[in-house]
Amino acid sequence: MSDAMNDTVDDAGGALARLRERLAGEHRVVVAFSGGADSALLAFAAADALGPGALAVTAVSPSLAAAERRAAREFAAEHRIRHLEVCTDEGTRPEYVANGGDRCFHCKSALFDAVGPLAGLLDASVAVGTNLDDLGDHRPGQRAAALRGVITPLADAGFTKRMVREASARLGLRTAEKPAAPCLASRVAYGESVTPEVLARVEAAEEAVRALGFATVRVRAHSGGTVARIEVPDAEAARAVELRHRIDPAVRSCGFTFCSLDLAGFATGRLNALLPLVGTGRPTEG
């Protein structure tokens, strides 16, 4: 094993020990559990450290893809993690629907408003899977968490995204190599309304493209949900062009009028390029 690999393993092992110690210091913990790599590691570690004092809670709304909901259920069942689903009401909040640069603030506020009373009844802290790499991104949801005293055990333990995946692999978690899967609302262009209809259209279109053999894909919705802009990794671009006559009708059958392929390829956070047009929308206190 190379020195670099040894450093990676040692870093992850040390972070795991710090994470267990951090969680053991809590009385009870309610983990906001989306089923992604970060929250899965946190939920697993919390259950290991606190046993029945740990509860994983998944927020259910039109922005959660059905496949992600199933995956969260299966992960919790596989590892015998106490798991609960709660419905969140972000879709009824005008600020969320308006889809400004602060959309995530209002989404996470809805999550914490739903989970907070439960945590209060259990005398538990609310925890999220924020890691150190997240702290440098445009993530207004982190402000919502900070305002409500939500804890971030992964970041506290020094986890980066790389270390989350390495530690998950050491523990044998199926989420170790799981691709990032942000909420469906992240596919809607800033400044355009987030509606259940558009979210369902995006979800169906991504499933249709995956069915054609593209494991990583984003379908971005523009122009009121009439235009689908497809992102696939650079290595898959040529094949996407070859299959355009199958991709186009498949995507349009999901409710889009037009289907386009983004020649710049796939990258997380591509819609952040629109933030200067709508403003970052940093919410004020209160």
Active site amino acids: 183
Neighbours of 196 (CB within 10 A): 12
CB 4 within 8 A of CB 162: no
Q: How far apart are CA 137 and CA 77, in angstroms?
A: 32
3-state class of 32 per DSSP?
strand
CB 158 within 8 A of CB 1: no
Contacts of 93 (CB under 8 A, 6+ apart): 106, 109, 110
Question: What phi, psi does 259 have (nearest 5°)?
Answer: -130, 125
Neighbours of 68 (CB within 10 A): 20
CB 256 within 8 A of CB 201: yes
Question: CA 77, 66, 201: angle at the middle one, nearest 5?
Answer: 170
CB 25 within 8 A of CB 49: no
Q: What's the number of CA atoms in the CB half-sphere (13 Å) around residue 177?
A: 3
CB 16 within 8 A of CB 173: no
